[in-house]
Every structure is written in C-alpha cells, then in structure tokens.
Amino acid sequence: MGRTIIDAVEREPDLELAGRAGSRDDLQGMISRTSPDVVVDVTVPEAAYKNALTIVSCKCNGVMGTTGISPAERDELGALAAKNGTGLLIAPNFCIGAVLMMKMAAEAARYLPNVEIVEYHHDHKADAPSGTAIATAEFINRMVTGIRSPAVESRELLDGHSRGARNGAIPIHAVRLPGFVASQEVIFGGEGHTLRIRHDTTDRRAYMPGVLHSVRNLPGKTGLYYGLESLLFPT
C-alpha cells in the first residue's frame, strides 16, 4: 500500500514526495528534516496511535489509513490537533466506492432495519473485523435509530462467535482467504425479501483517488476528521 501511494504521488504534478519512512525509521526525525505538509500513515494497528501522536505533536497534518485507534484515542488526538492548528484524518477506507456503499447502506437501513455485515479480506490481514466493517456499522448506528437485533439469540454450538461480533445490534462476520483483496457486503432482511449492497476491491490502486483527495484537502483544516466521507461530503 505504501509503495502504491508513493507511485501515485509521484505521478501528480501538483504534489511532491517529501520523504518516506519505514518501521525502523525515526518518524519524528524524518518529519523534522523534511517539513512535509501532510504525512500519510499506512502501517499496522499496533503502531497507528503512536504514529498519529507523533504526527500531530510535530504540528503536521496527518492522513491515517491504519486501523486500531480507539474512540478515546481519537478524541485525544483530535483535541491535540485542534490545539496545534492542524488536521488529522482517520480513514478506515480510502476507496470512494466503499464510502458510497456505506452511505447507501445507511439509507437502506432506514427502511430495512435488520442488518448484518460480511467482510472478506486476504489471509494476511492482521485484524478482524476490518476497520471498514466497523465504520459501516458505526455509520449506520449513527444515522439510523431502531436497528433491530435478531429475533432469537442463537445458542453457540462451538467456541467463538459464529454469529459474528456485534457493533450495537449489527453482527459483523470476517472471512480471511487467499484470493481476496477487500470486499464487503451489507445484507438487509425483510419479510419475503433480502437486499445486498456489495463493494469489491480488486487492486490497491482503487484507494489512490481517496488518498490523493485527502492529501490535497486536509491542509488548512483543524481538528479530527473521521472517515473519508468527512472530506468528500462535508456537512
């Protein structure tokens, strides 16, 4: 993902790559030496909060494409970004199609409040469920009241969560198999019918328009922005 972003930035005449840092590099030192307008982070969940804190503490704009930052940590980072006069975007998904899927799902949930989410990723993805699935459930719960739990709570016959993890009343199921990049479907059930809203990513280049939009539009903003939709569809 990092290599794809570098290639995308270098193709844009209005953008300049100030530097790059790997897991063993000193991020604070790199920011100090290169003075970037924006730092893009696509690392691992274990490093996300620390990297975001470093970026914001350096009074630099940050675009975070890494999941693993808790709501409490988001609040802390947002307050620090506002204090320092910089912007911080935390985006569970940079694909514009995925953001549209979330918006359409929230609209459908107004009329079909029985909802489940199934997300599919390659078997090297380290966390589950995906940040996009969690963000989709959060977005639906935020936009729609009265999401319904299943009529009957199933009795688990094996250890684990065969009915999925829950975000509010919405079950989320994670599939990890070779052959997938990233896919998600939001399934709605009603009397005598079902509705599926699905998005499939087959190449990491699908994320680049959202990354580039974020890099161009975050400077000049202050505080925390959560989700690419906060820059695509500002209220």
Write out 64-123 in H/E/C secondary structure: ECCCCCCHHHHHHHHHHHHHHCCEEEECCCCCHHHHHHHHHHHHHHCCCCCEEEEEEECC
Which of these is catalytic: 50, 103, 121, 161? 121
Query: Rounded to whole angstroms, how far apart are CA atoms 160 and 171?
Result: 13
Average pLDDT over residues 184-213: 96
pTM of the model: 0.82
**Residue pLDDT, tens place only, 58-95:** 999 999 998 789 999 999 999 999 999 999 999 989 99
Query: Rounded to whole angstroms, how far apart are CA atoms 80 and 222?
Result: 10
Average pLDDT over residues 10-39: 94
Q: Is 199 one of the annotated active-site residues of the chain?
A: no
Which two structure tokens, joined as six digits, stand for 155?
A: 């009795």
Higher-pLDDT residue of 44, 12: 12
Which of these is catalytic: 103, 122, 124, 125? 125
Q: Where do we find the tokens 């459930």?
A: 137
Q: Is 193 one of the annotated active-site residues of the chain?
A: no
Query: Rounded to whole angstroms, how far apart are CA atoms 216 and 33?
Result: 21
Q: Is the pLDDT of residue 36 over 70?
A: yes
Q: Is the pLDDT of residue 235 over 80?
A: no
For the chain, list the domains and their CATH numbers.
2-90+205-232 (3.40.50.720), 96-202 (3.30.360.10)
